Amino acid sequence: MTLPSRMFNGVEYFRRPQIYHTKKDANEAAKWWKDEGYKVRIIRSSHKNGKIIAWYQWLMRIENMRILIACEFSGIVRDAFAKRGHDAWSCDLLDTERPGQHIKGNVLDILDDGWDMMVAHPPCQHLCVSGARWWAEKQADGRQQAAIEFFIALMEADIPKIAAENPPGILTKAYRPPDQYIQPYWFGDEAQKKTGLWLKNLPKLVPTNIVDRGKIWVQKNGRKRGAAWTMCLPPSPDRWKIRSRTFEGIAEAMAEQWGGKIDSE
C-alpha cells in the first residue's frame, strides 16, 4: 500500500490511516511507534466550525545508526544526523565548536568502536592540488605520504558505510579517483568549492537545490570567472577554519540521503 507522504524539514514522512479524535489519544499511540523506532509528528488536520475533529500521525522510520563524523570540529554534519534521531558523534584533535557529542582525540583510536557509518573530513593541506607547488617538499619529508596513509586508513576502516571528502589532488593517483565531485551551490549555498567524495556502500549525493554559483571573479584581462569560495576570504588567523567548515546544505543532504531508510509501511 502506498501511503500519502509529506515533507517536514526536508524529510519525507508517511501518514498512518488511523484518525485520532483527541490529541491525547494520538500521543498515546505515538509512544508505541516511537518505541518501534519511528519518528512521529502529530498534525491536526480536520476542522469543523473551527473545532478540531481529527489528528493524524506522520511517521518516519529511523534506523537510529551510530555515526562517527571523523575530523570534524564544527559539529555541522554531526548535528544534521543527530537531529534526525541518530546517535552521531564528531571526533577531532580540537574541541567541538558547539555543544554536542564529541570525542577529542585521534580518530584512528576509535575506528573499531562499533560504528554503523562514518563521514570523514581528513585534512587536505598536503594533498590538494591548490598546494601542488609545495608537493616536492612534502613528498621529500614524508608529510604527503602520511596524509595519504591517514586517508586510506579511514577508507579501509571496518565500518559498513563510509564517506570521506577531500578537494581534487594527489589522492586520485595515490589512492583512486573519488566516486563523485560535488559543489556547495548544488545544495543551496551560493559558493564554489569542488569537493571529491569517496564512498563505500553509500549512494552518490543528489543535488537538492541548485542556486547561483556565488561570487564572480573578474580577471585582469576582463574575463569573468566563477571564483572558488575559498579565494574570496580575507586573511585572518581563523581563515583555515572558515575554509574547512562543511557547508550546511551539504551536511543536510548527507543526513537526508544517507541517514537511513524511510519506510512506506
Ligand X SMILES: C[S@@+](CC[C@H](N)C(=O)[O-])C[C@H]1O[C@@H](n2cnc3c(N)ncnc32)[C@H](O)[C@@H]1O
Residues that bind ligand X (CB under 6 A): 71-74, 76, 91-94, 106-108, 121, 123-124, 244-246
Of 11 and 107, the one with the shorter C-beta distance to ligand X is 107
Provide the β-strand partners of residue 56: 19, 43
Instruction: Find the shortest distance in angstroms from Cβ 113 to ligand X.
Output: 14
User: Which residues contact residue 118 at a Cβ distance below 8 angstroms, ignoring those fewer than 6 apart?
Assistant: 67, 68, 69, 70, 111, 154, 157, 159, 161, 162, 163, 164
Of 13 and 184, the one with the shorter C-beta distance to ligand X is 184
Radius of gyration of the chain measured on its C-alpha atoms: 22
Q: Contact at 8 Å (CB) between 56 and 42?
A: yes
Provide the β-strand partners of residue 41: 58
Residue (of 138, 152, 167) closest to 228 by Cα position: 167
Instruction: Find the shortest distance in angstroms from Cβ 96 to ligand X.
Output: 9
Q: Contact at 8 Å (CB) between 122 and 71?
A: yes
Concatenate the DSSP letters of all residues of 85-124 into one string.
T-EEEEEESSPPSSSSSEEES-GGGGTTS--SEEEE----
Of 93 and 232, the one with the shorter C-beta distance to ligand X is 93
For 35, the grid coordinates are: 518505541
Instruction: Find the shortest distance in angstroms from Cβ 82 to ligand X.
Output: 14
Of 74 and 144, the one with the shorter C-beta distance to ligand X is 74
Q: Contact at 8 Å (CB) between 135 and 169?
A: no
Q: Contact at 8 Å (CB) between 53 and 104?
A: no
* The residue to which cell 502506498 is assigned: 2
Instruction: Find the shortest distance in angstroms from Cβ 163 to ligand X.
Output: 12
Of 144 and 246, the one with the shorter C-beta distance to ligand X is 246
Residue (of 129, 155, 3) closest to 70 by Cα position: 155
Instruction: Find the shortest distance in angstroms from Cβ 133 to ligand X.
Output: 19
Instruction: Find the shortest distance in angstroms from Cβ 31 to ligand X.
Output: 36
Of 16 and 121, the one with the shorter C-beta distance to ligand X is 121
SS3 for 179? Answer: coil
Instruction: Find the shortest distance in angstroms from Cβ 95 to ligand X.
Output: 10
Of 92 and 189, the one with the shorter C-beta distance to ligand X is 92
